[in-house]
Amino acid sequence: MAKLNFGGVEEEVVTREEYPLEKSREFLKKQTIAVIGYGVQGPGQAMNMRDNGFNVIVGQRPGKTYDKAVADGWVPGKTLFSIEDALKKGTIICFLLSDAAQIALWPTVKQYLKKGKTLYFSHGFGITYSKKTGIKPPKNVDVVLVAPKGSGTSLRRLFVEGKGLNSSFAVYQDASGHARETAIAMGIGVGSGYLFETDFYREVTSDLTGERGTLMGAIQGIFAAQYEVLRENGHSPSEAFNETVEELTQSLMPLVAENGMDWMYANCSTTAQRGALDWWKPFHDATKPVFKKLYQSVKSQKEATQSITRNSEPDYREKLEVELAELRESEMWQAGKTVRSLRPERN
């Protein structure tokens, strides 16, 4: 593993140079990788592994998603099966159902976890919260994790563009003596750009914090608050949206992604720099208590309970859709729809 300095802290990472794709293919050549579930991570990981030359099959229940798998080139009876048939054939079982659905399917999955097989997760959820999920793998199988740090949609898109998301990896149980290499080989196989090591607990706590925080929850909260203040002070929806969202995603975030915050600041006016340097601290101070509360809620497992309870309700999809529609139909995101339609590349 390459030792790198992350802001003064030494950490080890696995890169593609260090663990090349050919090595991964060689290591896994006798395995049948069964991707169970074809939602968001399923297609991204399964198609990337297929394109990387691995022996991959998909297990999916009948319905719309099954039809999507067919449209993506998975062949019924050859590479696309019922969940049970895929569990039977697979030697590496990639458990890529939603975290709540994993609970319902676990008794079935468990039956097919014969000695020598590997159980693979993309989240530390099921194992860390095993008292709530009931997911307790038999001792004679390997249990590993590769968690791409981003949407399965991005995992696939970046792969197609010849790039790669980073992923974390972990071993929970090493029955074979080579579980760690299986995790690394799978991580490279699903199209990760590089891998950093963690454990199941740290993966799930950081992930739940991140998605509730700056990645998804906090960002919407901050957008909404600023948009409302601009509107309350007489600015038009297009002006408010542009100064809140469009400029950030189109102009400034790509600069942050490329070279960091100070570089983005340096590419803005001295007027903007002065203001941003003065104001980031009050925003920090105002939000830190909320982040602390969030982390506590994750740590106390309140967030896990909430996810399991709400996402196990029979009509959870419909209810999520109502809440997503509320966002979509808000003035801010309706203004956004019009703003997006004006981007020159869309015409």
Ligand X SMILES: CC(=O)[C@](C)(O)C(=O)O
Q: Which residues are annotated as a binding site for Mg(2+)?
A: 207, 211, 243, 247
Q: Is 207 in the site for ligand X (CB under 6 A)?
A: yes
152 is a site residue for ligand NAI (CB under 6 A): yes
User: Any contact of residue 303 with Mg ion (CB under 5 A)?
Assistant: no
**119 versus 240: smaller Cβ distance to ligand NAI:** 119
SS3 (DSSP) at 215: coil
User: Is the sign of the CA dihedral 255, 257, 259, 260 positive or negative?
Assistant: positive
Where do we find the tokens 């008794």? 107
Q: Quick check: 214 binds ligand X (CB under 6 A)?
A: no
- Strand order, beta sheet including 166-173: 2-6, 9-15, 194-197, 166-173, 142-148, 118-121, 92-95, 33-36, 56-59, 80-81
The secondary structure element, H or E, covering residue 217 is helix 217-232
Query: Please, which residue, 214 or 296, has the CB nearer to ligand X?
Result: 214
Residue ranges in 186-225 that form contacts with Mg ion under rule CB under 5 A: 207, 211
Q: Which of 11, 211, 239, 331 binds ligand X (CB under 6 A)?
A: 211
Residue 38 near which of ligand NAI, ligand X, Mg ion, none (CB within 5-8 Å, type-dependent):
ligand NAI
The answer to whether residue 123 is catalytic is yes
How far apart are CB 147 and Mg ion at their closest, in Å?
A: 6
Q: Crossing angle for the helix pair 316-329 and 302-311, nearest 10 degrees?
A: 100
At 28, give phi and psi (nearest 5°). Answer: -105, 15
Closer residue to ligand X in complex, CB, 104/216: 216
Q: Who contacts 205 (Cβ-Cβ below 8 Å, separation ≥6)?
A: 124, 128, 295, 298, 299
Binding residues: 207, 211, 243, 247, 269
144, 118 contact by CB (below 8 A): yes
Q: Which residue is nearest to ligand NAI (CB)?
A: 39
Minimum Å gap between C-beta 22 and ligand X is 28
Query: 9: number of CA atoms within 13 Å, CB side?
Result: 3
Min dist CB 312 to ligand NAI, Å, is 9
Contact status: 181 vs ligand NAI (CB under 6 A): no
Residue closer to ligand NAI by CB (options 203, 227) is: 203
Residue 151 is a binding residue for ligand X (CB under 6 A): yes
Q: Under rule CB under 6 A, how many of the chain's residues touch ligand NAI?
A: 23
Decide which of ligand X, Mg ion, ligand NAI, none touches 31; Cβ closer than 5 to 8 Å per partner kind.
none
Question: What does 97 interact with, of ligand X, Mg ion, ligand NAI, none (CB < 5 to 8 A by kind)?
Answer: ligand NAI
Tokens representing 271 are 């007027």
Question: Which stretch in 9-17, 93-101, 327-335, 339-347 sits in contact with ligand NAI by CB under 6 A?
Answer: 93-101
Which amino acid would we find at residue 20?
P
In angstroms, rounded to a whole number, what is the distance separating the alpha carbons of residues 21 and 190? 10
Instruction: Decide which of Mg ion, ligand X, ligand NAI, none touches 104; Cβ closer than 5 to 8 Å per partner kind.
Output: ligand NAI
Which of 123, 178, 235, 284 is catalytic? The answer is 123
Please state the φ and ψ torsions of residue 124, each to the nearest 5 degrees: -80, 5
- The piece of 73-81, 125-133, 172-180, 207-215 that touches ligand X (CB under 6 A) is 207-215
Q: How far is the CB of 44 from ligand NAI (least distance, A)?
A: 7
166-173/142-148 β-pairing: antiparallel
Q: Are the C-beta atoms of 34 and 95 separated by less than 8 Å?
A: no
Distance from C-alpha of 185 to C-alpha of 146, rounded to nearest angstrom: 10
User: DSSP letter string over 258-296?
Assistant: HH-HHHHHHTS-HHHHHHHHHHHHHHHHHHHHHHHHHHH
Q: Write out the residues near ligand NAI by the rule CB under 6 A.
A: 37-42, 60-61, 65, 96-99, 101, 104-105, 122-123, 125, 147-148, 151-152
Interface contacts to ligand X, rule CB under 6 A: 149-151, 207, 211, 215
Q: Which residues are catalytic?
A: 123
